[in-house]
């Protein structure tokens, strides 16, 4: 059984660059306030690579996976 993975965005550090939304639009969206939001409760196994790429691409290191 695979452990559920969730994404988190620290709104105190997010500057709304939008890289996460470009890389993984099925997981992230930048709101009207310029802060990224997580769109899903758990990340589907098929999207884990995109989620990790979004984490690695965030210049503010505002995204974590747990």
Q: What is the pLDDT of residue 11?
A: 97
d(CA 33, CA 15): 10
Q: pTM of the full predicted structure?
A: 0.93
Q: What DSSP element (H or E) covers 37?
A: strand 36-38
Position 3 scores a pLDDT of 85
pLDDT tens figures, 40-51: 999 999 999 999
Please identify every stretch of the chain with a pLDDT value under 70, giving residue numbers as ranges.
1
CATH classification for the domain delimited by 7-65, as one of 3.30.70.1380, 3.30.530.20, 3.30.300.160, 3.30.70.20 = 3.30.70.20
Q: Which residues, listed in sequence order, are joined to residue 37 by a DSSP beta bridge?
A: 29
**How many CA atoms lie within 13 Å of 60's alpha carbon, on the beta-carbon side?**
16
Domain ranges of the chain: 7-65
Residues in a beta bridge with 64: 8
Do the beta carbons of residue 8 and residue 64 sit within 8 Å? yes
């Amino acid at each position: 059984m695979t452990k559920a993975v969730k994404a988190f965005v620290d709104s105190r550090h997010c500057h709304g660059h939008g890289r996460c939304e470009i890389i993984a639009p099925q997981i992230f969206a930048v709101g009207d306030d310029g802060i990224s939001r997580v769109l899903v409760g758990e990340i589907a196994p098929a999207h884990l690579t995109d989620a990790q790429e979004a984490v690695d691409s965030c210049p503010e290191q505002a995204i974590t996976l747990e």
